[in-house]
Structure 1
Amino acid sequence: MKKVSLKAACVLLAGSFLCSSCIGSFSLFNGYEKWQCNMTSNKYVNGIVGLILQPIVGGICLTVDAVVLNTIEFWTGSNPLAANQVKTVMGQDGRYYAIKTLKNGYEVKSPTGEKTLFIHNANNDSWSMTQNGVTKEIIRFNADGTIQATLQNGEKLNVSNDEAGVMQVREAVYNENCYAMR
């Protein structure tokens, strides 16, 4: 029976940690892979360039992701590369909206170019909406585990942080809109 050297055991152990995504999303490496697959419209050119770049650039991206970025994401709960990513999402109205991830929230750009900001305030654990220069607090997480929702008329409503609380807010919004129509 052959003895397994300590170096081989360390390499296998390190490889098992790198192959598991339990500590992060590997966003740098996944972004590089997405770019590599879509750098040209010709899949054969992408494959050839990928064979050249993958050992060097892919290895660097994977190492930086595994050692630095995923560790930061694991301990802080936020992805350092998530800021300034833009995704296009279809709204309930059938139109497409561009959603940009910010360090402390989101920027939603409508098809007409209007921007709405949803900003998280870490000091008081609240989310606010800014539209046309007007900022309104939407929700605040209270220390006792409840949520303070702000309705359109400015009224504050404290609800539990569960499905029953969501239903209370829905009913309040529905009733507010029904009375406004009368």
Structure 2
Amino acid sequence: MKVKPTPLSDVHLLEPRVFQDQRGFFMESFNQANFCHELKLDVTFVQDNHSCSGQSVLRGLHYQIQQPQGKLVRVLAGAIFDVAVDIRRQSPTFGQWVGYTLSAQNFHQLWVPAGFAHGFLVLSEVAEVLYKATDYYAPDYERCILWNDSDLGIDWPLDGKVPILSEKDQAGHRLKDAEVYA
């Protein structure tokens, strides 16, 4: 697995080794020992989540104020623009974001540690997204930052389209008004 640093020092783009031939492909999508060794982390994943969304669906920017979740995100079918936002108030990169295209074709994965809000936009007709989480979903502690907060200035590749949002995501808060990590 290649680990590529991002402008946010704790977020990493991962490129697993993929073996392809006329039959298809094989890859080791996750190995706990290698993952922790390569990223110098001590994390355990306790939950896998799998979503399927149509084109222009935007999910996020989600996080939990208690039981924060680190997420290892990958795409099984289609393509997404995946975003992580640093919401740790004391961090030198507070309020900064990174975004990468993850697809079934490029096999890339994004490690989004606890302390970051996460969201994605579906670029393909349909996308199936799988992510491993380091803590359990806790709806009472879930929060949402507005996807289009002008203070963040996320450059979503919408190509003039209006994203499709859930009611929860439409009701998100601006980062400056959000309950975030100290």
- Which structure has the bigger radius of gyration? 1
Q: Does 1 or 2 have the higher relative contact order (CA < 8 Å, sep 6+)?
A: 2
Q: Which structure has greater strand proportion?
A: 2
Structure whose residues are more often helix by fraction: 1
Task: Give me the TM-score of the superposition, normalised by structure 2.
Answer: 0.25
TM-score, normalising length from structure 1?
0.25
